[in-house]
């Protein structure tokens, strides 16, 4: 090999080694940045000056029972209570305020309208059901062993539409939706009561025989006096007697997929789902859900079970994007929209 060729080969090797050295430095830098971020980000979130971010992250982990360890790893119970204390909904019915009974007659339309909901960080669906007497509760045929998907319960009951409703507390966190939290009332009968008592006040989302939505804390015996025909136990209430319950902070539950229900003064029922945990829709706070329902005229409204359970079904298909990787999650109960009185939708 000539000297010229040797010099060229040496130069090429040097250039290749230089490129490898640069790539190696870039790789090491990226690894350092990743490790540095992983170490410092929790410190910034949990101990930094960004109160809104701190409240949102703590609320999201603390109110999802499986993920409470995240907040507990960095904060004491006292610190968590202080961070979230002013954010939670304040339920006036818990301190004795009575639900104002609405009178909206029986001359309801059969219409169902659906609107797209677009927020800064979330997307969802709002269904408006004109006739509140079409709303009923559906529940899993396998309770207490397992739940069923929202669409399964809806199809079995011949419903036009449905959203998931109450929560569940399965042993061992198996997530089958089999053990409902609170109670389930259908056709005026108590079909499930976790507390085995009708005198203890529980979070309530229920409809009377005239179609009025009852929210807040009520005992089953009180609900019977109201003439409740359909209901589940969940909360917190977001609007009571026309007034919002979240007046400070974001509601204390962080950002997540949400399901909620409300009612206008004329009786129309608002069914709301907000998608979450995907690149197009991160999820919403309870305050954001409350604001949407207020904007659409709700005078009473409540949060329902959200997260992976959030599902809206209409005309034989799921029309939102459930966050569970397997699709629809099994749940214990749903709110159904029955066929129209005129036979058309």
The whole-number pLDDT of residue 80 equals 55
The answer to the question of residue 342 being in a domain is no
Report the distance separating Cα 266 and Cα 212, nearest Å. Answer: 10
Same domain, 77 and 111: no
The whole-number pLDDT of residue 63 equals 59
Same domain, 18 and 150: no
Task: State the burial class of residue 329 (Cβ atoms within 10 Å of its Cβ: 0-12, 13-18, 19+).
Answer: buried
Report the distance separating Cα 235 and Cα 166, nearest Å. Answer: 9
The whole-number pLDDT of residue 271 equals 98
Same domain, 44 and 144: no
Q: Cβ(256)–Cβ(306) under 8 Å?
A: yes
The whole-number pLDDT of residue 201 equals 96
Domain tally for the chain? 2
pLDDT digits (tens, 9 = 90+) for 156-170: 999 999 999 999 987
Q: Cβ(274)–Cβ(281) under 8 Å?
A: yes
Is the model more confident about 327 or about 228?
Answer: 228
Give me 191's structure tokens: 């079909």
- Long-range Cβ contacts of 75-79 (<8 Å, 24+ apart): 75/46
Q: Is the pLDDT of residue 46 over 60?
A: no
Distances (CA, A) of 65 to 69, 172, 279: 9, 12, 24
pLDDT tier for residue 326 given thresholds of 50, 70 and 90:
confident
Q: Mean of the per-residue pLDDT values for the chain?
A: 85
pLDDT digits (tens, 9 = 90+) for 78-126: 655 555 667 789 999 999 999 999 989 888 999 999 999 999 999 999 9
Same domain, 148 and 39: no
The answer to the question of residue 213 being in a domain is yes
Identify the CA nearest to 272 among candidates 323, 320, 330. Answer: 320
The whole-number pLDDT of residue 64 equals 60
Same domain, 41 and 110: no
Same domain, 68 and 129: no
pLDDT tier for residue 327 given thresholds of 50, 70 and 90:
confident
CB atoms inside a 10 Å sphere around CB 280: 10
pLDDT digits (tens, 9 = 90+) for 253-280: 889 999 999 999 999 999 999 999 999 9
pLDDT digits (tens, 9 = 90+) for 204-215: 999 999 999 999
Identify the CA nearest to 307 among candidates 276, 339, 282. Answer: 276
The whole-number pLDDT of residue 341 equals 74
Domain boundary among 55, 84, 113: 84
Is the model more confident about 19 or about 167?
Answer: 167
pLDDT tier for residue 331 given thresholds of 50, 70 and 90:
very high
Same domain, 228 and 103: yes
The whole-number pLDDT of residue 252 equals 86
Report the distance separating Cα 41 and Cα 45, nearest Å. Answer: 6
The answer to the question of residue 64 being in a domain is yes
The whole-number pLDDT of residue 253 equals 87
Q: What is the pTM of this model?
A: 0.81
Q: Is the pLDDT of residue 17 over 70?
A: no
Same domain, 234 and 267: yes
Q: Is the pLDDT of residue 45 over 50?
A: no
CB atoms inside a 10 Å sphere around CB 191: 14
Same domain, 279 and 332: yes
Same domain, 49 and 120: no
Q: Is the pLDDT of residue 37 over 50?
A: no
Is the model more confident about 326 or about 32?
Answer: 326
The answer to the question of residue 343 being in a domain is no
The answer to the question of residue 146 being in a domain is yes
Domain boundary among 27, 62, 84: 84
Report the distance separating Cα 96 and Cα 98, nearest Å. Answer: 6
CA torsion through residues 219, 225, 230, 236, sign: negative
The answer to the question of residue 344 being in a domain is no
The answer to the question of residue 171 being in a domain is yes
The whole-number pLDDT of residue 146 equals 92
The whole-number pLDDT of residue 117 equals 98
The whole-number pLDDT of residue 302 equals 98
pLDDT tier for residue 52 given thresholds of 50, 70 and 90:
low
b/e per residue 286-299 (b: at least 16 CB within 10 A): bbbbbbbbbebebb
Domain boundary among 84, 113, 148: 84
Q: Is the pLDDT of residue 284 over 70?
A: yes
Same domain, 136 and 280: yes
Percent of the chain with pLDDT over 90: 63
Mean pLDDT of 233-245: 97
Report the distance separating Cα 136 and Cα 188, nearest Å. Answer: 10
Q: Is the pLDDT of residue 149 over 90?
A: yes
Same domain, 329 and 264: yes
Mean pLDDT of 48-70: 57
Boundaries of domain holding 41:
3-84
The answer to the question of residue 227 being in a domain is yes
Report the distance separating Cα 210 and Cα 250, nearest Å. Answer: 33
Q: Is the pLDDT of residue 283 over 90?
A: yes
């Amino acid at each position: 090999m000539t000297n010229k060729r040797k010099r060229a080969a040496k130069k090429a090797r040097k250039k290749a080694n230089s490129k490898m050295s640069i790539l190696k430095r870039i790789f090491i830098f990226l690894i350092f940045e990743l490790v540095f971020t992983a170490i410092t980000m929790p410190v910034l979130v949990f101990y930094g000056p960004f109160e809104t971010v701190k409240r949102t992250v703590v609320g999201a982990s603390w109110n999802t029972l499986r993920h409470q360890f995240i907040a507990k790893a960095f904060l004491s119970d006292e610190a968590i209570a202080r961070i979230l204390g002013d954010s939670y909904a304040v339920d006036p019915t818990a301190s004795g305020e009575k639900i104002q009974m609405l009178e909206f007659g029986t001359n309801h339309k059969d219409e169902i309208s659906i609107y797209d909901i677009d927020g800064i960080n979330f997307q969802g669906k709002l269904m408006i059901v004109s006739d509140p007497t079409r709303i009923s509760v559906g529940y899993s045929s396998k309770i207490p062993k397992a739940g069923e998907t929202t669409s399964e319960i809806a199809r079995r009951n011949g419903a036009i539409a449905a959203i998931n409703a109450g929560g569940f507390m399965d042993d061992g966190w198996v997530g089958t939706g089999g053990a409902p939290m609170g109670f389930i009332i259908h056709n005026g009968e108590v079909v499930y009561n976790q507390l085995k008592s009708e005198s203890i006040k529980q979070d309530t989302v229920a409809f009377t025989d005239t179609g009025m939505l009852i929210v807040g804390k009520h005992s089953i015996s009180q609900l019977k006096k109201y003439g409740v025909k359909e209901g589940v136990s969940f909360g917190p209430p977001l609007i009571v007697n026309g007034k919002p319950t979240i007046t400070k902070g974001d509601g204390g539950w962080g950002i997540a997929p949400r399901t909620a229900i409300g009612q206008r003064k004329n009786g129309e029922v608002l069914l709301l789902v907000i998608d979450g945990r995907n690149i197009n829709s991160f999820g919403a706070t309870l305050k954001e859900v409350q604001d949407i329902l207020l904007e659409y005229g709700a005078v009473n409204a409540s949060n329902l079970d959200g997260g992976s359970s959030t599902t809206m079904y209409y005309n034989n298909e799921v029309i939102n994007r459930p966050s569970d990787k397997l699709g629809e999650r099994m749940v214990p109960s749903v709110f159904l929209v029955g066929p129209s009185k005129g036979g058309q939708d």
